Structure 1
Amino acid sequence: MASPIDIYFWPTPNGNKVTIFCEEAGLEYDLKPINIAEGDQFEEAFLKISPNNKMPAIVDPEGPDGEPISVFESGAILIYLAEKTGKLFPTDSPRKRYRTLEWLMFQMGGVGPMLGQNHHFRQYAPEKIDYAIERYTNEAARLYGVIDKRLSESAYLAGDELTIADIATWPWLTNHENQGQDLDDFPHLKKWFEGIKERPAVGRAMERGKEVAEAGLTLDEKTRDTLFGKGQYRRR
């Protein structure tokens, strides 16, 4: 029986990607909570597997050569797990494989960074900066529109089957209201979003995340400094 993979985790969109994949693929895993409000991400032991002090990261005790391997960056983790299991990443067609990678990189390079900035300036910034809010809300709408157009042409981002591209993107849209977006404006995206939300594996993964999040994030000055302020730079 395969040993479970350790997932160093907090229930953010990037963390949820990895647990959703594992649930979809039937891959055993153990969650290792990294409380980003408390600064767990700066601990030396964690930095050895995630040198950029970001979660998620994984440790697979049974790596490609039979030895333990650690992987950081959520996109790299999804590719690693997909290749390990042979699931949710097409292997029968190079064309399908590159289409999946295109949309995965679209999420990594566009959806994640831009929606993250959107969420920060709309929800967490200590002062409201109208220019930033308008800029990132408009960019979020543009990205939602790109996804909606793509999903008017195919059932999923990379084609007719669920792939790691969908798993990477979906968690970032769960906060659409806080990003200033109405899913009714994007009917094809909405249909895709609701369909993935109803998948049992997705429900299990999100529930695991809720259990971890019971510790909560109290957005006081200390937490702000750890997450967004000078504290994160002093502790690198």
Structure 2
Amino acid sequence: MSHGKQFTLYTHKGGPNGWKVTIVLEELGLTYESIFLDFQKGEHKAPEYLKVNPNGRIPALIDHKNNDYTVWESNAIIQYLVDKYDKDRKVSVAPGTNEYYTQLQWLYFQASGQGPYYGQAAWFSVYHPEKVPSAIERYRNEIKRVLGVLESVLSKQEFLVDGKATVADFSFLPWNEGAAKFLLEGSQFEEEFPATAKWHKKLLERPAIAKVWEERAKVSAH
């Protein structure tokens, strides 16, 4: 089977983790086809998709130029892409350096410290059938705690790693966007975390990311 694009990305229109991967693919100029799974129809739990990702979540990536190698978990995908395809270190740092492990540290923190808590905040604020004020408060406080960690670093430096924008920075973008728009009261994001808000805005101005955000708005509208 021949593929016009190098990668197939299984993702979801509203899922922040899929858009993180799309950002990296665009930043690196890699060709890909996005397949948006319909969660309402249970496509992410269908047997054919479970062959791709036994965890039944998005995203998952197939690299057709590497014997259809498949990788899932968004930050593992991101690590794969930069280790394999960012040889010029356009948006990453060289393996084996101290900065490489700093980059890895932020990717792990994003995956364990940001995504799950922001996701729970979204669940209890929007999707849970009953309102549970204590749960909403807990997870909103966790959002603020994570933003506080970012603020403590970004108030002293422009980017998270090595003085340049890397995948470490990009990985936080989609969840922070959701928090700023839907999960925090009023304008807390910009007022309480000014350095983080400035960094966020600067990243959104990058051409590749602006293109992804435009595409995201387009597919979300349908």
Is the TM value for this pair above 0.5? Answer: yes
1:38 deviates by 2.0
Matched, 1:203 2:207: no
1:159 deviates by 3.2
Matched, 1:149 2:152: yes
On the 8 A contact 2:20/2:174 being kept in 1, the answer is yes
Q: What is the rounded CA distance, in whole Å, between the counterparts of 1:153 and 1:25 in structure 2? A: 28
Q: What is the rounded CA distance, in whole Å, between the counterparts of 1:46 and 1:208 in structure 2? A: 24
Match for residue 182 of structure 2?
Answer: 178
Q: What is the rounded CA distance, in whole Å, between the counterparts of 2:128 and 2:59 in structure 1? A: 23
Matched, 1:28 2:35: no
Letter in 2 for 1:71: V
RMSD of aligned alpha carbons: 1.7
Letter in 2 for 1:119: A
Match for residue 6 of structure 1?
Answer: 8
On the 8 A contact 1:5/1:60 being kept in 2, the answer is yes
What SS is found at the alignment partner of 1:177? helix
Match for residue 231 of structure 1?
Answer: none
Q: Structure 1-normalised TM-score?
A: 0.85
What SS is found at the alignment partner of 2:40? coil
On the 8 A contact 1:10/1:212 being kept in 2, the answer is no
1:73 deviates by 0.5
Alignment of 1:108-119 (within 5 A): 108-119=111-122
1:158 deviates by 1.9
Q: What is the rounded CA distance, in whole Å, between the counterparts of 2:99 and 2:192 in structure 1? A: 29
How many aligned residue pairs are there?
A: 212
Which consecutive unaligned segments of at least 5 residues does structure 1 have?
A: 216-236
Q: Structure 2-normalised TM-score?
A: 0.90
Match for residue 162 of structure 1?
Answer: 165
**What is the percentage of aligned positions where both structures have the same residue?**
35
- 1:161-208: per-residue Cα shift (whole Å, max 9, x none)? 111111111111111232214322101101100001111111111222
Matched, 1:188 2:195: yes
Which consecutive unaligned segments of at least 5 residues does structure 2 have?
A: none
Letter in 1 for 2:31: E
Which of 29, 40, 43 is the aligned partner of 1:40? 43
